[in-house]
Amino acid sequence: MRIVLVGPPGAGKGTQATRLAEQLRVPHISTGDLFRANISRQTELGKLAKSYMDAGNLVPDEVTIAMAKDRMEQPDAEGGFLLDGFPRNVSQAEALDELLTTEGMKLDAVLDLEAPEEEVVKRIAGRRICRNDSAHVFHETYKQPAKAGVCDVCGGELYQRDDDSEDTVRKRLEVYHTQTEPIIDYYKAQGLVVTISALGPVDEVTKRALEALKREDDGR
Ligand code: AP5
């Protein structure tokens, strides 16, 4: 399956993407994680991306699209993928359509995770991620690690993301509403959008997502 996951910052896209990718046996491709890996390796791309991310802005399309394309062309993504954080505006969505059309492929669904602003703010404020791998995500209240400050998966140090400060989160939410939400209408016009609530325990949200994707698949 080829799926795009969309939703405001803190809705739980990364959390759900890890679980859904495992169930659906496709790679989880997160442009945010790819940027963070470049930042920790101190690459030129990482240095460029950091300045935009820390301000809560989108990294320019040119570098983002090239990075996403490169990842989608890896052999493990041949049979499908779950995109988390890409596309994030209409021009990225058009670039993805173009890429898929060239390869004779198409998207199966766009899963839209809905969560009210007060909930995403709480989720982001308590989020802690692993220094070794930003896909290892915890929460001070909702998902505490066995040992405070230590990643359960690999033993790495847990820290708060630089872009999770209150001001930057406000900016990221504004960018989501103005630049990312329009892709929902773009994909609605293609009949691809499946909307679910991201509220409730993580397991329940995963179950809801899998059921919604199955209904979508059966309906085709
Ligand atoms: P990115 O890393 O994609 O961040 P985001 O979209 O803002 O989303 P988040 O990672 O903040 O949240 P999430 O929805 O994944 O929530 P999570 O699962 O962690 O992007 C960061 C930046 O990179 C962007 O601002 C931009 O600068 C740049 N970028 C990335 N892609 C780009 C692109 N395509 N174009 C241009 N720029 C790009 O969950 C949040 C917390 O809640 C966690 O602590 C988790 O444990 C907890 N939680 C999750 N689910 C639940 C639940 N059901 N109940 C209780 N707690 C929960």
Residues in the chain: 220
Task: With respect to residue 66, please indicate whether it lies within any of the assigned structural domains.
Answer: no
CB 171 near ligand 1, within 6 Å = no
**Within a domain: 150:** yes
Q: Assess if residue 64 is contained within a domain.
A: no
Q: What is the pLDDT of residues 4-35, one digit of tens each?
A: 999 999 999 999 999 999 999 999 999 999 99
Distance 104 CA to ligand 1 centre (A): 30
Q: What is the pLDDT of residue 44?
A: 97
- Looking at residue 189, its pLDDT comes to 98
Pairing between β-strand 109-114 and β-strand 2-6 as defined by DSSP bridges: parallel
Residue 218 in this model has a pLDDT that exceeds 90: no
The answer, yes or no, to whether residue 220 has pLDDT greater than 80, is no
Of 26, 36, 32, 27, which Cα lies nearest the Cα of 13?
Answer: 32
pLDDT digits (tens, 9 = 90+) for 103-118: 999 999 999 999 999 9
Q: Is 32 in the pocket of ligand 1 (CB under 6 A)?
A: yes
Q: How far is the CA of 13 from the centre of ligand 1 (A)?
A: 6
Instruction: Note whether residue 86 is domain-resident.
Output: yes
How many helical (H) and strand (E) elements, i.e. helices and strands, does the chain have? 9, 8
Can you tell me the distance from the alpha carbon of 33 to that of 57, in angstroms, rounded to the nearest whole number? 16
What is the reported pLDDT for 64? 98
**What residue's CA is closest to ligand 1, atom 42?**
123
Q: For residue 79, is pLDDT > 90? A: yes
Sign of CA dihedral 152, 158, 163, 168: positive
Q: Identity (one letter) of the amino acid at 166?
A: E
Is the shortest distance between the CB of 27 and ligand 1 below 6 Å?
no
Inside any domain, residue 69: no
The number of beta carbons lying within 10 Å of the beta carbon of residue 209 is: 23
Task: Report the Cα–Cα distance between both ends of the chain, in Å, rounded.
Answer: 13
Is 187 inside any structural domain?
A: yes
Give domain status of residue 34, yes or no.
Answer: no
Q: Given pLDDT bands bounded at 50, 70 and 90, which one contains residue 131?
A: very high
Run of H or E including 194: strand 193-197
> Which residues are catalytic, by number?
13, 88, 127, 161, 172
* Beta-ladder partners of 199: none
Q: How confident is the model at residue 216 (pLDDT cuts 50, 70, 90)?
A: confident
The Cα 6–Cα 80 span in angstroms is 17
Q: What is the pLDDT of residue 92?
A: 98
112 found inside a domain = yes
Q: Whose CA is nearest to atom 26 of ligand 1?
A: 58
Domain that residue 143 falls in: 2-27+74-218
Rounded CA gap, 9 and 115, in Å?
10
Beta pairing class for 127-130 and 158-159: antiparallel
Residue nearest to atom 48 of ligand 1 (CA): 12
Task: Tell me, in angstroms, the distance from the centre of ligand 1 to residue 140's CA.
Answer: 16
What's the mean pLDDT in 147-154?
A: 96
pLDDT at 219: 78
CA of 33 to the centre of ligand 1 (A): 9
For residue 146, what pLDDT is reported?
97
Question: Can you give the pLDDT at residue 217?
Answer: 82
Residue 42 has pLDDT above 90, yes or no: yes
Ligand 1 binding pocket includes 36 (Cβ within 6 Å)? no
What is the model's pLDDT at position 114? 98
pLDDT at 208: 98
Task: Specify the number of domains making up the chain.
Answer: 1
State whether the beta carbon of 2 lies less than 6 angstroms from ligand 1: no
**Alpha helix segments (H runs only) across the chain:** 13-24, 31-40, 44-54, 61-72, 90-102, 117-125, 166-175, 182-188, 202-218
Burial class (CB in 10 A: 0-12, 13-18, 19+), 127: buried
CA angle 157, 159, 163 (to 5 degrees): 150
pLDDT band at 211 (very low <50, low <70, confident <90, very high): very high
Checking if the pLDDT of 134 tops 90, the result is no
CATH classification of the domain holding 22: 3.40.50.300
